[in-house]
Amino acid sequence: MIDYKQKLFSTLKNYLGWSSQRKIVVFSVDDYGNVRLASTEARKKLIKAGADLDKNRFDTYDSLETAEDLSLLYEVLNSVKDAKGRSAKFTAYALSANIDFEKVLQENDGRYYYEVLPQTFAKLPGYETVWDVWQEGVKKGFIEPQYHGREHLNIQYFEKAYAVKDAIFLTCLQERSWSGLPRLGFKQLDYASAFAYETAKDIPQVSKLALEGLKTFKEVFGTEAKSFTSPGGYTHHKVEQNLMQGGISFVDTAFIKKEPQGDGVFSYTFNRSGVRNKVGQFNLVRNSVFEPSQAVHYDWVDQCMAEIEMAFRFGKPANISSHRVNFCGLIDPNNRSRGLKDLERLLKAITKKWPEVEFISAGELGELIKSES
């Protein structure tokens, strides 16, 4: 059950913005396609090199999704149907590329090289069938890919870490991982925030990269992205404006958006779902949270149900925020088992309490909002 402060914050999120009498549930799930920890052995070697991998759940559990991760997820999503007989669906905010570790090491010239997602899967032992399983999920409607950037990696960070020969960075390259890296003195960017930057003069280059990533997304997933959420959460509105030219009509953004201006300065904006942002795109604000890997003894189903009820009370779709890490089992199978068990419990609770519920994707929600605006 959510406490007083959570209830107040949830009320503020849901009070204004686009409304509907329909009981709509969207699962917005970040980080699919992203390389993180390659194995438990890689994790041990990174810790030995000095990486603190116990400070957050991503450094503890997160890894590129396996065929087993996806297949077991599909089983859970397919086990519960909405009022129209459709299974639950994940909007997978996905990355279409990753660092090409082998080429970076081979060239040894300090430059960044990337590979597209199907190449990543094809290279890794035990991952040979994952891209087929990915496509099966899209075809059957269990997942819908949307744009989360080309990769979950900051190139400016990469170049500096390479130049200073950071020990953890070099171990990451050797172990085909991208996790637990230090800040290296940066004020506004870290290794995972692809569209973050240090100074305002970097914004045009970041905008160009974001637009190029949309082309890679289409090449990999065979469809144009409609919705975008920034890797790491930081993005400037000029980047979003550039993405609008590439077809992004909907921006998944925080209720209180923290926008970097460069040189350690941030601006803040309050956002509402269904309301256009300053460049004309429709905002999609998540108003419910489901993160079972974040606190393993916390009842995330109970909290999420309370937040969904609050959304419905104000006539708002329930847009549930989650991450791939909750359903990853390569590093720790128990993490995946716990996440999927809670997901199944949540889906059953939703359909029992609201038999009229509709499971749709973020892209479908955006189109619905657009059609009624």
State both tokens at 313.
Answer: 């009370």
Per residue of the chain (373 residues), what is the pLDDT tens digit?
667 667 776 777 887 889 999 999 999 999 999 999 999 999 999 999 999 999 899 999 999 999 999 999 999 999 999 999 999 999 999 999 999 999 999 999 999 999 999 999 999 999 999 999 999 999 999 999 999 999 999 999 999 999 999 999 999 999 999 999 999 988 778 899 999 988 989 999 999 999 999 999 999 999 999 999 999 878 888 999 999 999 999 999 988 888 888 888 888 888 899 999 989 999 999 999 999 999 888 999 999 999 999 999 999 999 999 999 999 999 999 999 999 999 999 999 999 999 999 999 999 999 999 999 8
Give the number of other CB atoms < 10 A from CB of residue 196: 25
Q: Is the pTM of this model over 0.85?
A: yes
- Count of alpha carbons within 13 angstroms of residue 161, beta-carbon side: 27
Give the number of other CB atoms < 10 A from CB of residue 125: 5
For 310, residues 6+ apart whose C-beta sits below 8 A from its C-beta are 2, 7, 10, 11, 14, 287
Q: How far apart are CA 274 and CA 262, in angstroms?
A: 28
Domains of the chain: 4-371 (3.20.20.370)
For 6, residues 6+ apart whose C-beta sits below 8 A from its C-beta are 303, 307
Q: Are 301 and 336 in contact (CB under 8 A)?
A: no
Long-range contacts formed by 68-75: CB under 8 A, 24+ apart: 68/329, 69/327, 69/328, 69/329, 69/330, 69/336, 70/130, 70/133, 70/134, 70/137, 71/133, 72/327, 72/329, 72/336, 72/340, 73/137, 73/142, 73/327, 73/340, 73/343, 74/136, 74/137, 74/140, 74/142
